[in-house]
A = this chain, B = another copy of it.
């Protein structure tokens, strides 16, 4: 199983790095400093059980096939609006979710199919959501950018770049109040770190010791803008030093390194209540969204990254370890394709949301309200006294004194 490569090597491999000497120097320094700052040697993740390894492989493949089909269906006009594909970044969601506990939380931006699938959600309601059907996970009201699966701690997709980062700090704050050893993972892109929201949230997470794991998925571009043209320091994890937060890079094309890196981060969050800032270096194979031909990237660059394909990498590992034969892998792929076909079928056979849905799920019907005032307001009239699905809270909320 691959160990963390020297950060500089990772950078060199993945980023066409041409930062000014001043930046570069301070860069390497902080990187070196980071693991030390952790104050204990990296333990890494336990080796994947053979079966578990196969499961992760299948999951990564499911994300890819699910999105490839979604792309086709989009072109057929059966999906509307924005469609942001996670293809190429599968190892990150799958590596992290393979370590996340049932009672942990996570949230991210609009490129959210991968997180939800990796967390183990039934893909049928997800495809139905993309097609705007009433059986969709958000009842057809959210669409591609807004997958949520609260019973599984999935606070899903935010369409506002950086907007969910302060909210992740709030979930971490609630965990501290409870005194539980849960943690929350906050995914965002390289473009999001230049929003003020990132800055404000990183500072309080470190200041208050919140169990938040911040994950910047550096896929080299925010829409058409490369990291070099957006961030004064291109080794993004170094931003963590400004908040005294442990920060380090990670190869996002390697699910095993992802697991090693985050196993440490989760342990730190659960035991020491300390946040970690991980820069996962990866690449989005497709354009930013369906409308983006991706002219700003060279064919060579894209191909270079395909050579590091995260799924092929795991497949190779499975073969090397004799966990699987080529036949097994092909069987898995077939199986996945069939599952995706069923998703399409399920979605297309699902009913469209009825008009009433428009007025539902806005307010919670609450006893503190003067009912007479809103009886003619459909938004209130159709509100429910409770959530549509029970949200998992710990049975008892204990508050800790600071």
**Interface, chain A (partner B; CB < 8 A):** 19-20, 22-23, 25-26, 29-30, 33, 37, 39, 194-200, 202-204, 206-207, 229-233, 238-239, 241-246
Contacts and interface: CB of A to CB of B under 8 A. Distances in A.
Among A33, A196, A202, A238, which residue has the most Cβ atoms of chain B within 10 A?
A196
A204 to B, nearest CB: 8
B246 A232 contact: no
Given A196-B195, A200-B194, A232-B243, A33 B37 contact: no
A230 B30 CA distance: 23
Contacts of A206: 232
Nearest to A39: B22
9 contacts: A26-B33, A26-B241, A30-B241, A196-B200, A202-B232, A207-B230, A232-B244, A233-B244, A242-B242
Contacts of A207: 229-232
B23 A244 contact: yes
A199 to B, nearest CB: 3
A207 B26 CA distance: 16
Nearest to A32: B29
A19 B244 contact: yes
B244 A242 contact: no
Contact of A22 (B25, B231, B244): B244
Contacts of A22: 33, 37, 39, 244, 246
A26 B197 contact: no
Nearest to A241: B26
A227 to B, nearest CB: 11
B33 A25 contact: yes
A200 B194 CA distance: 6
A238 B232 contact: no
Contacts of A39: 22
Contacts of A230: 207
A30 B198 CA distance: 22
A243 B229 CA distance: 13
Given A22-B39, A33-B26, A203-B194, A238 B242 contact: yes
Given A26-B33, A33-B26, A200-B196, A233 B243 contact: yes
Given A22-B37, A26-B37, A204-B232, 14 more contacts: A23-B244, A30-B241, A194-B200, A195-B196, A198-B199, A207-B231, A207-B232, A232-B245, A233-B241, A233-B242, A238-B241, A238-B242, A241-B242, A242-B242
Contact of A199 (B20, B26, B199): B199
Nearest to A194: B203
Contacts of A26: 30, 33, 37, 241, 244
Among A23, A198, A202, A229, which residue has the most Cβ atoms of chain B within 10 A?
A23
A168 B229 CA distance: 20
A233 B23 CA distance: 19
A25 B20 CA distance: 23
A244 B199 contact: no
Nearest to A19: B244
A307 B20 CA distance: 42
Contact of A33 (B29, B197, B238): B29
A163 to B, nearest CB: 11
